[in-house]
Amino acid sequence: MERLKNWLLEDDESSESWLGDLTNSMVGPEAASHVLNDDVDIIHATVSDSSLLEGINELRRQNSELRKQLEIAIEGLPNDQASILKKEMELMDREENLQEREKGIEESIITSSNKEPGLEERFQEELREKDDEFRKRETEFNQRIEQIEKELEETESEIRLRDEELRLAKMNGPEVEREFEEKLKELRKKEQFVSRLEEEVKNLRAEMVQKEEELKKINELLKFKDSEFGHREEDLLFRERKMEEERRRFEEAKKEASGLEELEMRKRLESLKDEIQAKEQEIVNKEKYLSSKESELRRREHRLINEEIEAREEERAVEIQQAKVKTGNHRFDDLLLGGIPFGSNILVHGPPFTGKEVMMGQFVTEGLIKGVPCIWVLTDKTPSDIREEMKFIISGYEEYEKLGLVSYIDTYSMSMGQTTEDPYTVFIDDPTDHKKIMDIVEKKTQEYLEGGHQYYRLAFRSLSTLIAYSDPISTFRFMSPFCGKRKRDKAVSMFAMEKGMHGDQEIQMIGSVMDGMIDFKIDQLKTFFAVKGITDVQSRSYIRYTATKSALSIGSFSLDHIR
């Protein structure tokens, strides 16, 4: 302050300029007023120049005018911004006061320390307390500033909402409707997006459950393999011990044997090795010969099958002309007066192991040898099981598969944990997935019909599994359109159903969507079957028959009784 006084006394014009710069550099009216009041008091006490006093009065007047202008500008601002500016100005004034008080305290500490050495520690302690208080108040001010900023953000959002409401209020009716329609479309898009996300989450959860089940099955398989490897390891250890024992015996025998005997044994061993090598080479040659013969037989079989299909083209044309298909059993065709009409859905109902599966196999075979494709729908068998059964009924069944005449829709293998790939099979996880079964059968039938085939045959094994996994009502709802579509395609279909598993009401419900039924029964250890519906027949009485793995041998029938 002494330097300021001397400088003001030396140059009045420079002091006026300095005061003006000081006034203009102040950030708020309160700070400017405070500095001017303190400095003016000092100047009054030290300067008596009238021109300097006039400059000070002019600065006071300008300061008051600036204060008024600032207050007017603040009043023109929104309430929240005005309050924030006022708070900031107050904070600046308080901070400046604190800084001046700190300077005064430091000066007093320096003066006191020169006078009284014992007071310096007390002043340092008071200074630390003041510093802590200042920091605490600074923290409070910062918190208050953050709170004010949050309030400002909320106020700005309210202002935007009010502006939006004001804009909508100024619009006319059509514009408001159009605006609401756009908002509604946007909301619907967001709802659709959210629904798709929920669906994806649902699918991902279902996929995760499926993956967990697959992992569980794999873990079970690994446990089984570990157990199998353990048994093999035990077997290998046993063999090693046995070989070690044999080796020990051989060493003992070798020691006991004389030189001539040892040479003779070596010669015998060498001759045995040569003989074994010769036998092995002979076996390899035989295997190659058999493999070539097997390939040749397959080629010949493939050629013969194609020739047989071409030779039976006339028979296929006769079937189409008569609108009846042969069943593969001449006696059964005679009973049906020529065969089964096109578009028929036949229920094959009987106890297990009575030959109904053989009848269905003969029915499929009769179509294959004429070049008519077949679709197997499996719910209780695998394609491998069907191939084993068909080997007893028709030779070269796998060649018909290669010709594209056989397709499998398998709902059984996945539930058994079999994941072997099959080029002729479409796998379905669940036998109750009726929609997927329907869609895949429709796809296969379209391929056959568009590929030049006039009709196809279908074998369904079996309906009892569908009823057991779901219920008769669901099975009926599935079978009604399923049979209708087969009738539309003029296909001939056979559906197996186990006797003894279902009540009369269930059988009648399923039978109502069929065109007829072949009913098998066992009476006094003898097997019989009877034809119900389908077409005109020579007899509807139960007819005796015997069954093997390859065919049914049907007894005589005439005048509706068994001879």
pLDDT score for 27: 38
On whether both 252 and 264 belong to a single domain, the answer is: no
On whether both 232 and 296 belong to a single domain, the answer is: no
Neighbours of 504 (CB within 10 A): 8
On whether both 160 and 30 belong to a single domain, the answer is: yes
On whether both 485 and 389 belong to a single domain, the answer is: yes
Q: pLDDT below 50 — which residues of the chain?
A: 1-48, 559-563
**What is the count of structural domains for the chain?**
4
Last residue of a domain, one of 269, 287, 310: 310
On whether both 233 and 330 belong to a single domain, the answer is: no
Residue 186 lies in a domain: no
Local structure of 512: helix, strand or coil: coil
Residue 174 lies in a domain: no
Cα 362 from Cα 170, distance rounded (Å):
84
Q: Respond yes or no on whether the N-terminal peptide bond of residue 462 is cis (omega within 30° of 0).
A: yes
pLDDT score for 341: 93
On whether both 515 and 417 belong to a single domain, the answer is: yes
pLDDT score for 559: 47
On whether both 353 and 262 belong to a single domain, the answer is: no
On whether both 75 and 99 belong to a single domain, the answer is: yes
On whether both 244 and 342 belong to a single domain, the answer is: no
Q: How far is CA 28 from CA 18, 62, 86, in A?
A: 18, 14, 9
Local structure of 59: helix, strand or coil: helix
On whether both 237 and 292 belong to a single domain, the answer is: no
> Which of 332, 319, 358 lies closest to 534 in space, CA to CA?
332
Residue 190 lies in a domain: no
Cα 351 from Cα 160, distance rounded (Å):
80
The residue to which tokens 């083209």 are assigned? 313
Residue 316 lies in a domain: no
Tokens of 475: 């099975």
Q: Which residues pair with 350 in a beta bridge?
A: 498
Tokens of 500: 């003894």
On whether both 61 and 90 belong to a single domain, the answer is: yes
Residue 184 lies in a domain: no
Residue 161 lies in a domain: yes
On whether both 7 and 127 belong to a single domain, the answer is: yes
Helices 356-368 and 383-391 sit at what angle, rounded to 10 degrees?
80
Cα 389 from Cα 550, distance rounded (Å):
8
Name residues whose C-beta falls within 8 Å of residue 445's C-beta, 6 or more positions apart in sequence. Answer: 375, 456, 485, 489, 491
Query: What one-character-per-residue DSSP string does 380-418 give?
Result: S--HHHHHHHHHTT-TTHHHHHHTT-EEEEESSTGGGT-
pLDDT score for 261: 67
8-state DSSP, 172: -
Count helices and strands (H / E) in the chain. 17, 14
Cα 7 from Cα 16, distance rounded (Å):
11
Residue 14 lies in a domain: yes
Query: What one-character-per-residue DSSP string does 245-260 give?
Result: HHHHHHHHHHHHS-HH
Tokens of 347: 């229920």
Domain hosting residue 294, numbered range: 258-310
Q: How far is CA 271 from CA 254, 267, 408, in A?
A: 19, 6, 55
Cα 370 from Cα 313, distance rounded (Å):
6
Residue 178 lies in a domain: no
The residue to which tokens 């070049």 are assigned? 371
pLDDT score for 436: 93
The residue to which tokens 């059984």 are assigned? 412
